[in-house]
């Protein structure tokens, strides 16, 4: 039997961090997605233990200030793409207001650290969200394009094909065929 599970990545990450920090008896306060404040300093061994317990799961303690800002940019973009209330916001305005820096500065730092652009990261996140919506909610391309603030279905389709190598329609056919084969 195959089940389709809808999940909230923010809730999963928060719960995971809570569990890992509790395992090591580390008291903390959550400041925002991907940002915590420890109530007391960790010694070098404690910090290393925390890093080692998080890394197998793809979590990383970010220490360089530019890397911290890039992580905040990525978190803000994920919030922009995955929180339905944000679907009509312009990404440059959203990021500048959320992070209290000019978009030009954010863009330069992001490119310097990741060797990619903010725009490319946004496109990747939007396409991942579109795939999730097609899988879980079985939404139409028109509904998905509207939700993700695309100007048209054609624009979504072009970015989807450029990113994944297949059209959204082909992706939907593959999913439909797999579901039929499982039943």
First to last CA, the chain: 8
Average pLDDT of the segment spanning 107-115: 92
**Which residue, chain included where needed, has tokens 């992070």?**
99
Domain ranges of the chain: 8-61, 123-182
Q: What is the pLDDT of residues 128-139, one digit of tens each?
A: 999 988 888 777
Per-residue burial over 61-89, b = 16 or more CB atoms within 10 Å of its CB, e = otherwise: eeeeeeeebbbbbbbbbbbbbbeeeeeee
For residue 73, give every residue at least 6 positions away whose Cβ sits within 8 Å of its Cβ, in sequence order, or none: 95, 99, 106, 109, 110, 118, 121
- Report the CATH number of the 123-182 domain: 1.10.10.60
* Cα–Cα distance for residue pair 69/105, rounded to 1 Å: 11
**What local confidence, expressed as pLDDT, does residue 84 receive?**
67
Q: Please answer whether residues 110 and 73 qualify as being in contact, where contact means their C-beta atoms are separated by less than 8 angstroms.
A: yes
CB 156, CB 149: distance < 8 Å: no
| Confidence label for 33 from pLDDT (cuts 50, 70 and 90) | low
Residue 147 predicted with pLDDT over 70:
yes
Beta-carbon contacts of 141 under 8 Å, excluding residues fewer than 6 positions away, are 153, 156, 157, 168, 169
Residue 112 to residue 129: CA distance in whole angstroms? 26
């Amino acid at each position: 039997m195959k089940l389709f599970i809808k999940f909230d990545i923010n809730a999963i990450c928060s719960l995971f961090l809570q569990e890992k920090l509790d395992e090591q008896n580390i008291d903390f306060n959550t400041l925002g997605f991907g940002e915590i404040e420890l109530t007391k300093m960790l010694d070098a061994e404690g910090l290393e233990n925390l890093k080692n317990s998080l890394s197998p799961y793809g979590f990383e303690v970010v220490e360089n200030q530019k890397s911290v800002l890039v992580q905040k940019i990525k978190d803000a973009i994920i919030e922009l793409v995955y929180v339905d209330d944000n679907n009509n916001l312009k990404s440059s305005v959203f990021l500048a207001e959320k992070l209290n820096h000019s978009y030009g500065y954010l863009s330069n730092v992001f490119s310097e650290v990741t060797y990619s652009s903010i725009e490319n990261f946004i496109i990747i996140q939007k396409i991942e969200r579109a795939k999730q919506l097609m899988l879980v909610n079985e939404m139409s391309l028109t509904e998905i394009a509207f939700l993700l603030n695309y100007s048209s279905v054609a624009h979504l389709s072009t970015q989807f094909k450029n990113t994944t190598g297949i059209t959204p329609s082909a992706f939907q056919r593959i999913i439909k065929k797999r579901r039929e084969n499982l039943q």
